[in-house]
Chains A and B, each alone.
Chain A
Amino acid sequence: MSTQSKKGRSLNSSYQAGTILKEYWERAKRHQAEGRPVAWVSGNVPIELFWAMGIFPVYPENYSAVLASAQRAQEFCEEAEQKGFSYDLCSYSRINLGIILGKGINDPGLPFGGLPRPDILVTTRIPCLIQVKWWEAVREFFHCPMFVVDATMVDLPIREDQRQHYLGQMRELIPYMEKSVGVRFREDDFLQALKLSDEAAALWLELLDVRAAVPSPVGSREMCGNVFPLVSMLGSPTPIPFFRNLLDEAKECVKEKKGAVENEKIRLGWDNIPMWFNLKFFSDVEDHNVIFTYETYLRYVWGGRMDLRDPWTAFADKHLDVWLNYSINQRIRTLLSDIPKFKLDGFVFHQNHSCKRFAMGQKDAAVAIREKLGVPSLFINSDMADPRAFSEAQCRIQTDTFIEMLEAKKS
């Protein structure tokens, strides 16, 4: 097993991310050991409900990303494939199924001592369709209750019928969770979770906005390492001091005109989930005075703001207003607005073998930003977790060419 070589962090607070991740997984095991319920959930579930109701939300997707970062994804993917799951399924699911069907979730060789067993499975159709079938396979193994949250694709602004459809799902989910795992929903706890979630989201989004500065204070590699509390802990207090520290430091860097990359010359954006096994892709380009300073994955997938004067409406809108639930036109409109704001010279689309929902419409987006903004794009064909989908030499030549092309354009 090898680990990815790391450059120093631009923001000292980023070093806390590893501790938060470790404590999260330890806390999940402790929660279960104390006889309290654990849910296995997926991206874009209504996370605040879980924290409010005392159900610990465990993200196997994140655990798969952790294994990919540790260069251990392939062994579990292969395990799942040997058991009959296709290579064409999402690599997060193959890693998780490889763990379950291989040595099991309590294998001491796993990071953080393994995964706690699920008492309930909750997923949503918002980001993914494979996820439903993945959870069905998991349910057959663990024999636990399961709930799938449905949602309609949106073109902003969100319509009332779309909002009501989502809230109708919540009216079913809450009693289902109460009955299935023996917890009680209390509105005061829920409102408090929303308040914590919104506070964390406000800090995170401001942090992302600060990265529009030239030079950018922090690049994508570091920010991908910082996103975990936003994914899994919105509704708990943990992300707030972490994000506040990051923001304060980033603002200080901007004030001092201190960039993450010395002599920043080219600014890039990134679409899709990163290659967790190859995060150094983001930092390698920094040797050429290039910085990735914008990511759709970090900005529009996890944490939106909520107007808590009307909490249920705000809650529904926050969960519907995510990149993976946008129509292609909405994605294009968003990029056309953000690329000039972040002063991006080029855009990199990750054609992620595993995430078709994310990759959908990328070609249309590339054409639109070239025609309307004159900003060129690069397509990297790879995967978020399975390193077998990545070709080092081809990625290298494409990236080098793209940078040389942008340099020539700017000179």
Chain B
Amino acid sequence: MYYAGIDAGSNTIKTAILGDEGILSSHVIKTGLGGEDQALLCLAEACAKARISREQISCVYGTGYGREYLSFPQARKSEIMCHGAGIHWLLPEVRTIIDIGGQDSKSIRLNEQGEVDNFNMNDKCAAGTGRFLETMAHALQIPLEELGECALRATKPVRVSSTCTVFAESEVVSHVARGKKREDILHGVCQSIVDRIAGMVRGIGVMPPVAMTGGVAMNRAVVKLMGEKLGLSILLPPDPQITGALGAALMARRHISH
């Protein structure tokens, strides 16, 4: 039997297809303005990769900010619960998850059974989210996916202290004007997001092992700096971006088996 999870996030839609033996495929597309059509397209692409038809899927669960707008999933679950389920399946020893998505960041504590025991989120601000990195990448004219690698080449990191994303962008532009190197500024950008999120994670108590999920977990500089800040090494799932969709697919599978 086959099961699907769709994580309709603010930036991207992620789909994971699960079979009885494990993950069959996943797919990620930009959310855009397509709404449900875009989610169906993402599901169709994931089905094609898995070489199955949409009709062969026994159950679909939706998650993410856009889950309420999807009519086709059998049920909807919050992404925090889905990230918990996804990580517990991939890395069962993990007790703390740091999920940094496009428009929010979350810290999640799991108990020994892998159930969500506590969580918190960033406050009403983009400073601790993927959007912050996107804005800075744009200001420094570098593709988002290269930002982390570039930051790791820093030799004299600068400090980006503004909390507000817009003011931080101005600060970055000032550093450029003063002749600071791009990699040094980007290091400051990554350190800024880490400082902000570390405080949030400590708010629920850091219980190792710690894993990172969400799109920002693909930024190696953020992962490295987060580990240094918390004084531990950070575990990463094979594809951090699809953890929520995988968790939703696992819940769909549980739904059918029950």
Contact = CB atoms under 8 A, between A and B. Distances in A.
Interface of A: 370, 376, 379, 381, 389-391, 393-394, 397-398, 400-401, 404-405, 408-409
B70 to A, nearest CB: 15
Interface residues of B, number: 16
A349 to B, nearest CB: 12
A350 to B, nearest CB: 14
A404 B121 contact: no
Given A398-B119, A408-B115, 11 more contacts: A379-B120, A389-B124, A390-B124, A391-B124, A394-B104, A397-B65, A397-B104, A401-B80, A401-B81, A405-B81, A405-B115
A12 B116 CA distance: 40
Contact of A401 (B65, B116, B123, B124): B116
A394 B106 CA distance: 11
Contacts of B104: 394, 397
B118 interface: yes
Contacts of B159: none
A394 B65 CA distance: 9
A400 B78 contact: yes
Interface in B51-79: 65, 77-79
Given A381-B124, A393-B65, A397-B65, A376 B81 contact: no
Interface of B: 65, 77-81, 104, 115-121, 123-124
B80 A409 contact: no
B113 to A, nearest CB: 10
Q: Tell which of B77, B117, B120, B121 has the most Cβ of chain A within 10 Å.
A: B121
Contacts of A370: 118
A404 B115 contact: no
Contacts of A398: 119, 121
Nearest to A403: B78
B138 to A, nearest CB: 23
16 contacts: A370-B118, A376-B117, A376-B118, A381-B124, A393-B65, A397-B78, A401-B119, A404-B78, A404-B81, A405-B115, A405-B116, A405-B119, A408-B81, A408-B115, A408-B116, A409-B115
A30 B83 CA distance: 60
A411 to B, nearest CB: 10
A186 to B, nearest CB: 53
Contacts of A391: 124
3 tightest Cβ-Cβ pairs between the two chains A and B: A401-B78, A391-B124, A401-B80
Nearest to B120: A379
